[in-house]
């Protein structure tokens, strides 16, 4: 039996390495921790949204006069409440068209309310703007009860958790006149944006998703919306599913957009005008109920004539065309050199599947070690595994090394890595630094790198590449393929694999077990909280006493130093 077990282990070692890409396993749903965080910090995320986009994201809603003009016109001064006013894209077109209108405008983003107040057409005699969370704050504190003729809700209710939507409607009902109405437009089930979300781990609950910037969106069905309003004291006058197939010819995109447009009346409106009676549900004995008018329009237009609410910026956000300002620049100081590294903006990192689009603390530490100890890589051939978009270890190494190959399996990370390398490294060092795609265990990728360097690598570096359990065996299998044969380039040097990481989902025994299967033995290890003992440790000799204070970003970091048996 023992020989059988040994034979099976040998066969396992000889099998072709597993091909793997290091992304989190899709679950199609966010964790309870993030779900609660998005709810708790909803105001913050929308405030960041308006800090970033100002008044450029949504178009001014000039279509309101065409769609609902008869509600705003007529005798007498109309008093409106714009819920979720944003930067004022509804308010100011209405004020320009209807001089007798007075508008209350609220948003739970203080920055959005400030944008309204800073608008060139803002006048206190015509607009009262205030911060309000409809699910928490009582509107009666700002608006007299039963005083509003029209409430506009344009792409706002979708930002509220479904379980809290009734609170918002009950709040609105208190300030609405008995014959008042709600003009509603919002996202519908089947919209292209929702289809995009289904391919990502951004689902909060049924039809409710979080965007990359932390803001949220719910997608309504006719049935859900009708029930929601009727259960909270409203009748349906008009309900329309609007569909547009928008073509962006320059990008060769066809975008199917869907939204719901509706009009709801206060349910106390039993004596409304005859023009409305035919389409409002009245629960009176013997009264025949006539279904509300439901309309569905399908149009095809070029994106420049896209008569809905989003500017081109929203197409970028919804349809995955990444703009340059989704990134931010991080400055990394390594000795006398400063590197400006472009990474994915922090506001998008928490929902981004690719971990390679950000800069990890382990990479900062290992880059500082290489920059401060050039003898580690001097005159050697260096391979970095899973370097992500930063590649700062490779940049630090190339100053002293003969050759550096920076690799990652994610093409998006590699594209950003190439930009970072070209903007930070100049000839002759740039000629020695090569970026290549390498999915661990991918035979074609491995052979392509061997064509660049068929003698193997003297130093292989990996930072935070041990966080996925399924990736550990392919990691060591690939390292075994790429490391140079035993017998170093100098008498006192043996080829080495250096891993720097925080222990997360994979513990040390699991790493050591995988390493031994492919002939690696642990020669030295180091933990950031361990006192320096330079006489007994290879790794400790890399750090001066001050370096422990200056370049260690986290006391949870570890370094493991392997050599081939």
pLDDT by residue for the chain (565 residues), tens only, comes to 444 444 444 444 444 444 444 444 444 577 888 889 889 988 888 888 888 777 766 777 877 888 888 898 877 789 999 999 998 988 999 999 998 899 999 999 999 999 999 999 999 999 999 999 999 999 999 999 999 999 999 999 999 999 999 999 999 999 999 989 999 999 999 887 787 776 566 889 999 998 878 889 999 999 999 999 999 999 999 998 888 766 655 545 556 778 899 999 987 643 333 333 333 332 322 323 333 444 433 333 333 333 445 443 444 444 333 444 468 889 999 888 899 999 887 656 555 556 788 888 899 999 999 999 999 999 999 999 999 999 999 999 999 999 999 999 988 899 999 999 999 999 999 999 999 999 999 999 999 999 999 999 999 999 999 988 899 999 999 999 999 986 555 556 799 999 999 988 899 999 999 999 999 999 999 988 665 555 568 998 898 755 545 566 677 899 999 999 8
Peptide bond into 428 cis (omega under 30): yes
d(CA 29, CA 210): 10
CA distance linking residue 416 with residue 123, whole number of Å: 46
350 and 303 housed in the same domain: no
Q: What are the residue ranges of helices labelled H in 54-184?
A: 63-72, 91-97, 110-118, 165-175
- Residue 309: inside a domain: yes
**Domain extent for 252:** 32-269+287-319
Please check whether residues 57 and 206 belong to one and the same domain. Answer: yes
What's the predicted TM-score (pTM) here? 0.54
Count of CA atoms in the C-beta half-sphere (13 A) of 554: 15
Q: Is residue 205 part of a domain?
A: yes
Instruction: Look at the chain and report how many structural domains it folds into.
Output: 2
Residue 6 falls inside a structural domain: no
Any domain includes 17: no
Which residues are CB-neighbours of 18 under 8 A, at least 6 positions away?
441, 470, 473, 474, 477
Q: How far apart are CA 466 and CA 562, in angstroms?
A: 14
C-alpha 207/C-alpha 77 separation (Å) is: 39
* Cβ-count burial 97-109 (b if 16+ within 10 Å, e if not): ebeebbbbbbbbb
Residues 298 and 399 in one domain: no
Give the angle 348-354-359 at the CA atoms, nearest 5°.
70
Write the CB contacts of 228 (distance below 8 Å, at least 6 apart in sequence). 165, 166, 169
**Is 340 in the same domain as 301?**
no
Which alpha helices (DSSP H) does 105-252 contain, by range? 110-118, 165-175, 192-197, 222-230
Domain of 194, CATH number, reads 3.40.50.150
Longest dimension (CA), the chain: 102
Is 443 in the same domain as 526? yes
Does residue 391 share a domain with residue 300?
A: no
- 310 with 348, same domain? no
Residues 301 and 380 in one domain: no
Same-domain status, 293 and 167: yes
Residues 307 and 438 in one domain: no
Structure token pair of residue 187: 């996202």
Q: How far apart are CA 123 and CA 111, in angstroms?
A: 18
Query: Is residue 390 within 8 Å of residue 363, measured between CB atoms?
Result: yes
Q: Is residue 532 part of a domain?
A: yes
532 and 394 in a single domain? The answer is yes
196 and 304 in one domain?
A: yes
């Amino acid at each position: 039996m023992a020989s059988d077990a040994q034979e099976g282990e040998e066969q396992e070692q000889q099998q072709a390495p597993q091909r793997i890409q290091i992304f989190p396993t899709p679950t199609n749903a966010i964790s309870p921790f993030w779900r609660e965080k998005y709810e708790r910090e909803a105001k913050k995320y929308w405030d960041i949204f308006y800090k970033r986009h100002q008044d450029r994201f949504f178009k001014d809603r000039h279509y309101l006069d065409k769609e609902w003009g008869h509600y705003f016109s007529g005798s007498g001064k109309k008093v409106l409440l714009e819920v979720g006013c944003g930067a004022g894209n509804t308010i100011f077109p209405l004020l320009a068209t209807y001089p007798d209108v007075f508008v209350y405008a609220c948003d739970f983003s203080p920055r959005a309310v400030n944008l309204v107040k800073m608008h060139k057409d803002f006048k206190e005699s015509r607009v009262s703007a205030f911060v309000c969370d409809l699910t928490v704050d009582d509107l009666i504190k700002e608006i007299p009860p039963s005083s509003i003729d029209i409430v506009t809700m344009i792409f706002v209710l979708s930002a509220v958790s479904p379980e809290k939507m009734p609170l918002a409607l009950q709040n609105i009902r208190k300030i609405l006149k008995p014959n008042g109405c709600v003009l509603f437009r919002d996202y519908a089930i089947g919209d292209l944006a929702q289809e995009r979300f289904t391919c990502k781990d951004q689902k909060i609950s049924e039809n409710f998703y979080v965007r990359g910037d932390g803001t949220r969106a719910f997608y309504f069905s006719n049935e859900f919306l009708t029930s929601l309003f009727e259960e909270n004291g409203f009748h349906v006058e008009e309900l329309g599913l609007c569909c547009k197939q928008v073509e962006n010819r320059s990008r060769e995109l066809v975008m199917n957009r869907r939204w719901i447009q509706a009009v709801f009346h206060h349910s106390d409106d039993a004596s409304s005008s005859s023009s409305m009676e035919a389409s409002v549900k009245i629960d009176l004995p013997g009264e025949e109920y006539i279904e509300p008018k439901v309309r569905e329009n399908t149009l095809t237009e070029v994106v420049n004539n896209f008569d809905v609410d989003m500017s081109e910026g929203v197409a970028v956000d919804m349809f995955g065309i990444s703009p340059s300002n989704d990134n931010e620049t991080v400055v990394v100081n390594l000795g006398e050199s400063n590197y400006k590294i472009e990474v994915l903006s922090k506001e998008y990192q928490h929902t981004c599947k690719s971990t390679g689009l950000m800069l990890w603390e382990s990479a900062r530490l290992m880059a500082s070690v290489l920059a401060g100890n050039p003898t580690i890589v001097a005159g050697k051939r260096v391979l970095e595994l899973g370097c992500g978009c930063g590649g700062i270890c490779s940049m630090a190494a190339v100053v002293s090394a003969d050759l550096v190959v920076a690799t990652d399996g994610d093409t998006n990370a590699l594209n950003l890595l190439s930009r970072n390398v070209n903007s930070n490294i100049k000839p002759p060092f740039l000629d020695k630094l090569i970026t290549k795609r390498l999915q661990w265990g991918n035979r074609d990728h491995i052979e392509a790198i061997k064509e660049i360097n068929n003698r193997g690598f003297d130093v292989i570096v990996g930072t935070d590449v041990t966080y996925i359990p399924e990736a550990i065996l392919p990691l060591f299998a690939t390292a075994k393929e790429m490391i140079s044969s035993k017998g170093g380039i100098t008498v006192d040097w043996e080829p080495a694999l250096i891993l720097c990481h925080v222990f997360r989902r994979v513990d040390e025994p699991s790493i050591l077990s995988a390493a031994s299967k492919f002939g690696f033995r642990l020669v030295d290890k180091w933990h950031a909280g361990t006192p320096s003992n330079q006489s007994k440790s290879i790794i400790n000799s890399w750090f001066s006493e001050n370096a422990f204070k200056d370049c260690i970003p986290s006391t949870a970091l570890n370094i493991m130093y392997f050599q081939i048996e």
